[in-house]
Amino acid sequence: MSHTHAARRKALKALLAADQPLILPGAYDALSAQLAERAGFDATYTGSFAAAASGFGMPDVGLLTLNDMVDQTRRIVEATSVPVLADAENGFYDAPNIWRTIQAFEATGVCGVHIEDNLGGKHTATPAGLLSPHRMAQKIRAAVDARTDPDFLVIARSDAAWVNHDADECIDRLETYIAAGADMVFAPALPADALARARKRLAVPVMVAGDLLDVPGSDVPAHTIEDYGRAGADVILLWYTLIGAATKNVTEVLDRLRTRNDVAAVKELVTDQRAFEGLMGYDRFEQRSARYAAAPASS
């Protein structure tokens, strides 16, 4: 195991022990992950929603394979120095074979993955339902058994508050998954008042999805990061914000270019090229180039 991988995982555990919730921007590629780190965020995340869209131009409806998510995760980990969490969907396999998922993600250097009980149809009007709590608990138990680094986090996600609109069922499921060995639990669409109740029962860190509040028609009352922090969230995941921001800004630039036919019309919306090259490390390349292009010293 890489010393860097181990150090990142220990760093994430220290962040989770802090008094304030950890805010995780959802990176959609290596560049957005680097920008999150440069902006001062202590950790980041990559999820299937953004990976499907940015990598394949597809919806997040179960189309990505294990290798698709592992490859995206590896690129983000290699591009940054901060801890990264990743989306392992429903584990991709049943309990006897989930070791392959854990082994593949561990090798990327990611600090942990979440595994969900959703059977498919996320982000659509016709969700397929939920895996039984027993089968999901077996997946979590198998994932914990499969890891080689005890600091690699196995995070159990329940979508009961989202799919079944039942916060109490969600909390019950999370308790079952904790009993199976989950290091953290993730509860999308869990309202802040339900999270406050859950904190009295759940003995591990809890992650909530703040970005779900941005979705039109969401059943979750509007909450702020402060609301979730007061309710006891340890991690607030902003899985949509970055790819949503990129899509809005690029669309605006393209619309202006098409209607005005003038690059000057979008100048204020575009990062200065020299500044962008600075972000990408062109100066370091020039320094290396000068070093190796220098004439050899005379003997």
CB contact set of 78 (below 8 Å; sequence gap of 6+)? 30, 109
Give tens-digit pLDDT for 127-141: 679 999 999 999 999
Q: Are 61 and 120 in contact (CB under 8 A)?
A: yes
For 154, the enclosing helix (H) or strand (E) is strand 153-157
DSSP H helices, 39-98, are 48-56, 66-79
Q: Which of 62-66, 116-120, 125-129, 170-174 has the lowest mean pLDDT?
A: 125-129
pLDDT recorded at residue 126 = 73
Give tens-digit pLDDT for 155-207: 999 999 989 989 999 999 999 999 999 999 999 989 999 999 999 999 999 99
pLDDT recorded at residue 214 = 46
Give tens-digit pLDDT for 198-255: 999 999 999 998 875 544 445 556 678 888 999 999 999 999 999 999 999 999 999 9
pLDDT recorded at residue 122 = 77
pTM metric for this prediction: 0.92
Residue 125's pLDDT band (cuts 50, 70, 90): confident
pLDDT recorded at residue 298 = 64
Tokens encoding 281? 């490390």
